[in-house]
Amino acid sequence: MPPLWMLLCGLSGTIAVISELGNRRRNNRRDIEDVGFMPWSTVTAMSLLTFGISFAFGIGLLSTA
Looking at residue 2, what is its pLDDT? 72
CA–CA gap between residue 22 and residue 3 (Å, rounded): 29
pTM for this entry: 0.82
Render each residue's pLDDT in the chain as its tens digit; 65 residues.
678 888 999 999 999 999 999 989 888 888 877 777 888 899 999 999 999 999 998 888 877 77
Nearest to 43 by CA among 10, 25, 21: 21
3-state SS, the chain, equals CCCHHHHHHHHHHHHHHHHHHHHHHHHCCCCCCCCCCCCHHHHHHHHHHHHHHHHHHHHCCCCCC
Q: For the chain, state the CA radius of gyration.
A: 15
